[in-house]
Structure 1
Amino acid sequence: MTMQKGSISIHAQNIMPIIKRWLYSDKDIFIREMVSNACDAIVKQKMAYPGSEDEYRVTVTLDEKLGEIRFSDNGIGMTAGEVERYINQVAFSGAEEFLKNYQGDEKGGIIGHFGLGFYSAFMVADKVTIETLSGSEGAVPVRWVSEDGMQFEMEDGSRTQRGTDIILHIGEEDKEFLQEYKVREILRRYCGFMATPVYLQVVKAEEPKEDKDAQDSKDELKKDGEAPAPKAEEPKAPEHINDLAALWLKNPKDCTAEEYNNFYKRVFHAFEDPLFYVHLNVDYPFNLKGILYFPKITNDFGTREGEIKLFSGQVFVADNIKEVIPEFLMLLKGVIDCPDLPLNVSRSFLQNDGYVKKLSAYITRKVADRLVSLFTTERETYQRYWDDIHPFVKYGCMRDSKFFDQVKDSLLYKSTKGDYLTLQEYVSKNEGTLGKKVIYTNDPARQAASVALYEAKGIDVVVLDALIDLNFVSFVEYSGSGESVTFARVDADASSFTQEQDGEEEALKTDEKKLDELFKAALGKEDLTLKLQKLTDASLPALLVQEEQSRRFTEMSKIYGQDFKMPEKYTLVLNQNSPVVQSLLAAPEGEKRDLMIGQLYDLARMSTRPLEKEEVTAFLSRSHKLLELLGQ
């Protein structure tokens, strides 16, 4: 064949510079596109010659000396006519189509930047050479060369075996793609689970040769008994990139727990086993396979970035495509493979695509099914996992109403005694004393005195100390969960552990009025609300209670960094049964009585929140004075 020269398209001079500019930060996709093309050639060869015993493979050779990356396959190869058609016409038309889609959605971006294909090579190469030989009888090898993706030369090539080499001479601005570690990382990310074996071969630049005098000196050393110089390093064998099988493609019945755990650790570089997993495997009404893992999720999960890897036919697309995978599932780790997913489209298109919505709903349902199944058939195991997964489950309930409807009966509440109860179980157990109210603590240590009062009456107190719980209790109250419950913190009121007055109302009112005057005067708080009640525990002199809804509003404002502040309205509940309170009523006017009042008030406050710096100083000073008075 005589050498042919030509232009690919009159539009080429406009297209390639634009593609280079727009995909500047995503240049590494050229490796994925080159390897994908090589795998496609092998698939075509397998289809044309089924039953062949050839050992198919794709080899990526990194030649530091020549400044080249070579993509080699033993696939179907191409004739001169096929090069003309697939490279000069079809492949370039694909680049045109890619550009058209990208221009239509500059802000949203194209998912994964699929479709550029062969012409992605020109994002990093200043020269591209194709050496190919078709497997058809009598085929002649072909060489195709282009330095800019616009002009090309085509002539007889030198390849002697069926297949294709695509050689990229890397441009000066993109020498980073000649770094072994970088190419390996890109190959593992995009091609780590491709069906065709992919290998990385590195050809190191030769060390500079020594001059004759230096060599003679070494020879003299050897004669004097020194050890001979070490031999030149042998070239490394090609490294198998995709040696880990795509476990998600196996039938779940054929997978072992060890396989699931090893796959998780390898893919996500984890040291701990996951808690459990969901294996997705469906062929109709869409083709979807994948594995979702439940790792331990901490209370500060809001700062976590999810690790859901999206694949299309075992080719990595991107991490965390929220248009495909429900947002709350981003707290999990896993892989999702959907070959039918439209990729060469914008994110906004995916967001509104009916197929994608069905896909997303299915994934959510399968996760919910797994949770409900665990709760129903392995309650003890489910309870053991609950402390680690409850932030995720609660977040999912608030983000997806259908998910909530599925799992609401399997939501657990852990009590201060370590028991795990569903909402229905809690209400049934405590309805005689509480009605449809749930008592909780968000700080069991600080609120221990109030917790003890409820526990003494046989009332369960649940622990809701995660950051999400403040929002979650309000969500459950207004979500129509079926129980019509309300939540109250242990210090929201004292009615549950107050004794009857037994005809002592007048005396109680008199004492309450006196104490009210004493406390307001000693503390300098005219807006203080004080009540005197008979509490069941005589050892507890005082409680500070705050209405539930106003406290929640204040805490919510702090979480979201809002400046708006509602006045914090507390009620100081004094225990008429307490000897300390009785001694205050009988105490003469003076410093000691005022010190006792201040100390009692601060002790009650400390069960609701830490004292401020100035308050701590005053508390310590007051404590020292009281000790001095007691010592006199």
Structure 2
Amino acid sequence: MSKQGNLSIHSENIFPIIKKWLYSDHDIFTRELISNACDAILKFKKLCDLGEATDTVGEPFKVTVTVNEKEKILVFEDNGIGMTEEEIEKYINQIAFSGAEDFLEKYKDKMDQDQIIGHFGLGFYSAFMVAGTITIDTVSYQTGTAVKWTCDGGTTYSISEGSRETRGTTITLHITEESKEFLNFYTLSQTIEKYCSFMPLPIYVVDACREETAKDEPTPEVNEEDNEVKAPEVVEPKPINDTHPLYTKQPNECSVEEYKEFYRKTFMDFHEPLFWIHLNMDYPFRLKGILYFPKLSHELETIEGRIKLYNNQVFVAENIKEVIPEFLLLLKGVIDCPDLPLNVSRSLLQNDGFVKKIADYITKKVADKLISLYKKENEDYKKFWDDIAPFIKYGCLRESKFYDKMKDYLLFKTTDDTYVTLSEYLETAKETHENKVFYVSNKDQQSQYITLFKENGLSAVYLEHSIDNPFISHMEMHNQGVKFMRIDADIAGALKGEEADKTHEEKLTGLFRKVLNNEQLKVSVENLKSQSVPSMILVSEESRRMQEMMKMYGMAGMGMPMGQNELTLVLNQNHPLIDSLAHKDLDEETTSLLCAHLYDLALLANQTLSPEAMHNFLERSNKLLGMIL
């Protein structure tokens, strides 16, 4: 005997909204139905543990998803607790009433922290995003009677006698034409693997059409020589998920190879991670996970981190900034927190101060791991530094608490290929350039300056990443009196000999301004120890930083571009060419050629010449070579 009725919705008819707007991704119905199936099994297992139910069937607990492309159906089946007709009326027909919540309320005094996934009672209806008609065929552990529920996507349903013979639930989706992509076995498998790869019960995905084809295959051949029947190879089905992912174990139970294998399988990245942090916390909230520091092959990869967030081994989303501090999104990892306050679609977090505590905890654990590496495995820390530096610097910029913990463990790679802290660098440099940190932003372009430093026993640090511009300002703000200067911004004391003779500075300034047709050109005569460099360019640190900041924020056109007046031409009086210009009366053509060429040589060692300047430089070089001949 069957009966019909109307779906009961507590406020208004939200069914069309559920179908269209409840979830942003339609493929999420797989997660919801499989989560419900796992819940049904976990609830039955708990009742058995409590002595309130007996497993008379004795089959392994599992969830099976069968796709039948020919008949355009998907079938989700579990051998869990099942439902009575009354429970269908309560949990299915009354939308937004959660069976899981009711179960937890009833047994809250008898339960530990075992997993019950469902919370909201709306997940089942996500299936209507892809299905025109849905049937539920279920047998409760209490009655053993099969009940069938059918709904065609409207607000009416029918209940009749079902055909299922054993405890559990079978849900059949008749897939619409618009969603036929989910009838593809491989698409479905990838979707389920995406959402359910760590669910706590084995999930099997079956292709019904392939199974039928296998049945129709010819019988095994008989080998006539030895009259033996060659049996067909039997391939045991394997679950699509890992029911005990590595992050659920204690750190001391995991080997190095297991960590690496979990990384490869989870992120499809066959480059070995540098190191990892195993998170394991039970109080004041439950949180488990593994964060990996990946090896970066180029700068662009720093934006490709991927942290997967789970709730009781159910995938929620990637890179949720409310839980995972933004700077940690440069990493790869898995975080599972059953206590997350999720909203109705599981994918978004409710605004809760509790979430901030989780983020603070994760930040602290990452900082503790890095500090431990610095103290206990210093050589490895230095070896990893080039890869992890962008992440750590970004963290210092974004999180003040992270900077406070890490400030004494920030390293700088020097032009001598050593790694030093800021205090170590300043201690070494205090006699020649106290409180100045000279840095290189482009190793190739600033090679002449690096050579000068090395020849005079000086060291600069490499700051070549895009994160370094704001990081430099941050370091100056938090280290009073310390000034970062690009290696071409000033002349360190150790590069100079005795005080320069400024007698001819005015004459030389006039010569260069006239030849270069630039009355604003700044010229400085210095006595450099090196005799190999006749001229060099210094660039104003403040003006250059201002221009870079304006460019970064798209405001370059709003201010004056950095021109010749922001550069200083340094002439080395210790070089024969400068000495000749200062003391000899050279003819006008020779003077003009020398001044223009000395300026371009200095400029070439500092930056790329403009096309016009490069043309003039090459033409002048050919003329000078001709004069030598």
Q: After TM superposition, is the score higher than 0.5?
A: yes
- For residues 134 and 94 of structure 1, do their structure 2 counterparts lie closer, same or farther at Cα, with a shift above 3 Å needed? closer
- The RMSD of aligned alpha carbons is 2.6
Per the TM alignment, residue 181 of structure 1 is displaced from its structure 2 partner at its CA by: 1.8
Kindly provide the amino acid, as one letter, of the partner of residue 313 in structure 1. Answer: N
What residue in structure 2 maps to residue 539 of structure 1? 532
Rounded Cα–Cα distance in structure 2 between residues aligned with 1:236 and 1:147: 38
Which of 523, 527, 546 aligns to 2:516? It is 523
- For residues 47 and 463 of structure 1, do their structure 2 counterparts lie closer, same or farther at Cα, with a shift above 3 Å needed? same
Q: Secondary structure at the match of 1:476?
A: helix
What residue in structure 2 maps to residue 386 of structure 1? 385
- For residues 460 and 68 of structure 1, do their structure 2 counterparts lie closer, same or farther at Cα, with a shift above 3 Å needed? same
Whether contact under 8 Å (1:541, 1:575) holds in the other structure is yes
Rounded Cα–Cα distance in structure 2 between residues aligned with 1:58 and 1:583: 90
Rounded Cα–Cα distance in structure 2 between residues aligned with 1:630 and 1:67: 87
- For residues 234 and 160 of structure 1, do their structure 2 counterparts lie closer, same or farther at Cα, with a shift above 3 Å needed? farther
Which of 576, 579, 602 aligns to 1:579? It is 576
Kindly provide the amino acid, as one letter, of the partner of residue 168 in structure 1. Answer: L
TM-score (norm. length: structure 2): 0.87
Rounded Cα–Cα distance in structure 2 between residues aligned with 1:132 and 1:595: 95
Which of 557, 560, 567 aligns to 1:565? It is 560
What residue in structure 2 maps to residue 472 of structure 1? 471
- For residues 587 and 298 of structure 1, do their structure 2 counterparts lie closer, same or farther at Cα, with a shift above 3 Å needed? farther
Whether contact under 8 Å (1:323, 1:347) holds in the other structure is no
Per the TM alignment, residue 329 of structure 1 is displaced from its structure 2 partner at its CA by: 0.5
Residue 129 in structure 1 maps to residue 112 in structure 2 = no
Residue 86 in structure 1 maps to residue 91 in structure 2 = yes
Rounded Cα–Cα distance in structure 2 between residues aligned with 1:189 and 1:493: 55
Rounded Cα–Cα distance in structure 1 between residues aligned with 2:147 and 2:411: 68
Q: Secondary structure at the match of 2:395?
A: helix
What residue in structure 2 maps to residue 197 of structure 1? 202
Per the TM alignment, residue 460 of structure 1 is displaced from its structure 2 partner at its CA by: 1.5
What residue in structure 1 maps to residue 299 of structure 2? 300
Rounded Cα–Cα distance in structure 1 between residues aligned with 2:155 and 2:234: 37
Once the two structures are superposed, what CA deviation does each residue of 1:375-433 show, in whole Å capped at 9, x if it has no partner? Answer: 11111000000011101100100000000000111100001111000011111122122
Per the TM alignment, residue 346 of structure 1 is displaced from its structure 2 partner at its CA by: 9.3
Once the two structures are superposed, what CA deviation does each residue of 1:517-564 show, in whole Å capped at 9, x if it has no partner? Answer: 111111111111111111111121011112211111122223333222
What residue in structure 1 maps to residue 248 of structure 2? 249
Which of 487, 492, 502 aligns to 1:490? It is 487
What residue in structure 2 maps to residue 120 of structure 1? 126
Per the TM alignment, residue 443 of structure 1 is displaced from its structure 2 partner at its CA by: 1.8
- For residues 235 and 204 of structure 1, do their structure 2 counterparts lie closer, same or farther at Cα, with a shift above 3 Å needed? farther
Rounded Cα–Cα distance in structure 1 between residues aligned with 2:188 and 2:614: 59
Q: Which runs of 5+ in 2 are unaligned?
A: 102-117, 214-231
Which of 510, 513, 538 aligns to 2:506? It is 513
Rounded Cα–Cα distance in structure 1 between residues aligned with 2:272 and 2:298: 19
Q: Secondary structure at the match of 1:519?
A: helix
Rounded Cα–Cα distance in structure 1 between residues aligned with 2:165 and 2:295: 55
Whether contact under 8 Å (1:92, 1:119) holds in the other structure is no
Rounded Cα–Cα distance in structure 2 between residues aligned with 1:593 and 1:192: 76
Whether contact under 8 Å (1:130, 1:166) holds in the other structure is yes
Which of 68, 71, 75 aligns to 2:73? It is 68
After superposing the two structures, state which structure 1 stretch, 252-261 or 47-56, moved more: 47-56
- For residues 261 and 348 of structure 1, do their structure 2 counterparts lie closer, same or farther at Cα, with a shift above 3 Å needed? closer
Once the two structures are superposed, what CA deviation does each residue of 1:346-376 show, in whole Å capped at 9, x if it has no partner? Answer: 9999574210011100000100111111011
Kindly provide the amino acid, as one letter, of the partner of residue 619 in structure 1. Answer: F
Kindly provide the amino acid, as one letter, of the partner of residue 67 in structure 1. Answer: K
Whether contact under 8 Å (1:308, 1:334) holds in the other structure is yes
Kindly provide the amino acid, as one letter, of the partner of residue 574 in structure 2. Answer: N
Whether contact under 8 Å (1:391, 1:466) holds in the other structure is yes
What residue in structure 2 maps to residue 275 of structure 1? 274
- For residues 448 and 206 of structure 1, do their structure 2 counterparts lie closer, same or farther at Cα, with a shift above 3 Å needed? closer
Whether contact under 8 Å (1:12, 1:149) holds in the other structure is no
Whether contact under 8 Å (1:520, 1:528) holds in the other structure is yes
Once the two structures are superposed, what CA deviation does each residue of 1:246-292 show, in whole Å capped at 9, x if it has no partner? Answer: 11110011111101110001010001110001111000011011111
Q: Secondary structure at the match of 1:83?
A: helix
Kindly provide the amino acid, as one letter, of the partner of residue 560 in structure 2. Answer: K
Per the TM alignment, residue 296 of structure 1 is displaced from its structure 2 partner at its CA by: 2.0
- For residues 510 and 113 of structure 1, do their structure 2 counterparts lie closer, same or farther at Cα, with a shift above 3 Å needed? farther
Whether contact under 8 Å (2:539, 2:568) holds in the other structure is yes
Whether contact under 8 Å (1:477, 1:486) holds in the other structure is yes
Residue 14 in structure 1 maps to residue 13 in structure 2 = yes
Whether contact under 8 Å (1:134, 1:141) holds in the other structure is yes
Rounded Cα–Cα distance in structure 1 between residues aligned with 2:522 and 2:132: 81
- For residues 55 and 320 of structure 1, do their structure 2 counterparts lie closer, same or farther at Cα, with a shift above 3 Å needed? same
- For residues 153 and 25 of structure 1, do their structure 2 counterparts lie closer, same or farther at Cα, with a shift above 3 Å needed? same
Whether contact under 8 Å (1:132, 1:143) holds in the other structure is yes
Residue 187 in structure 1 maps to residue 192 in structure 2 = yes
Alignment of 1:591-610 (within 5 A): 591-610=589-608
Rounded Cα–Cα distance in structure 1 between residues aligned with 2:62 and 2:398: 45
Rounded Cα–Cα distance in structure 2 between residues aligned with 1:16 and 1:115: 13
Q: Secondary structure at the match of 1:204?
A: helix
After superposing the two structures, state which structure 1 stretch, 258-267 or 551-560, moved more: 551-560
Per the TM alignment, residue 83 of structure 1 is displaced from its structure 2 partner at its CA by: 2.0
Whether contact under 8 Å (1:77, 1:132) holds in the other structure is yes
- For residues 350 and 145 of structure 1, do their structure 2 counterparts lie closer, same or farther at Cα, with a shift above 3 Å needed? closer
Rounded Cα–Cα distance in structure 2 between residues aligned with 1:439 and 1:167: 69
Q: Which runs of 5+ in 1 are unaligned?
A: 98-111, 209-232
Per the TM alignment, residue 299 of structure 1 is displaced from its structure 2 partner at its CA by: 6.0
Rounded Cα–Cα distance in structure 1 between residues aligned with 2:346 and 2:508: 66
What residue in structure 1 maps to residue 114 of structure 2? none
Alignment of 1:363-378 (within 5 A): 363-378=362-377
Rounded Cα–Cα distance in structure 1 between residues aligned with 2:135 and 2:43: 22
What residue in structure 2 maps to residue 453 of structure 1? 452
Rounded Cα–Cα distance in structure 1 between residues aligned with 2:328 and 2:121: 28
- For residues 10 and 199 of structure 1, do their structure 2 counterparts lie closer, same or farther at Cα, with a shift above 3 Å needed? closer
Rounded Cα–Cα distance in structure 2 between residues aligned with 1:382 and 1:417: 18
Whether contact under 8 Å (2:83, 2:139) holds in the other structure is yes
Whether contact under 8 Å (2:433, 2:492) holds in the other structure is no
Rounded Cα–Cα distance in structure 2 between residues aligned with 1:193 and 1:128: 27
Rounded Cα–Cα distance in structure 2 between residues aligned with 1:197 and 1:488: 60
Kindly provide the amino acid, as one letter, of the partner of residue 141 in structure 2. Answer: G
> Percent of counterpart pairs with the same letter?
49
Kindly provide the amino acid, as one letter, of the partner of residue 305 in structure 2. Answer: G
Kindly provide the amino acid, as one letter, of the partner of residue 486 in structure 2. Answer: R
Whether contact under 8 Å (1:324, 1:351) holds in the other structure is no
Alignment of 1:43-58 (within 5 A): 43-50=42-49, 54-58=59-63
Q: Secondary structure at the match of 2:469?
A: helix
Which of 156, 163, 168 aligns to 1:158? It is 163
TM-score (norm. length: structure 1): 0.87
Count residues with an aligned counterpart: 582
Q: Secondary structure at the match of 1:509?
A: coil
Whether contact under 8 Å (2:2, 2:160) holds in the other structure is yes
Rounded Cα–Cα distance in structure 1 between residues aligned with 2:11 and 2:156: 9
Whether contact under 8 Å (1:77, 1:133) holds in the other structure is yes
Q: Secondary structure at the match of 2:504?
A: helix
Q: Secondary structure at the match of 2:476?
A: helix
Which of 599, 602, 621 aligns to 1:623? It is 621
Rounded Cα–Cα distance in structure 2 between residues aligned with 1:114 and 1:558: 49
What residue in structure 2 maps to residue 441 of structure 1? 440
Whether contact under 8 Å (1:13, 1:150) holds in the other structure is no
Once the two structures are superposed, what CA deviation does each residue of 1:13-61 show, in whole Å capped at 9, x if it has no partner? Answer: 8321122222474211111111111111101111121396541000001
Whether contact under 8 Å (1:492, 1:548) holds in the other structure is yes
Per the TM alignment, residue 203 of structure 1 is displaced from its structure 2 partner at its CA by: 1.2
Whether contact under 8 Å (1:201, 1:236) holds in the other structure is no
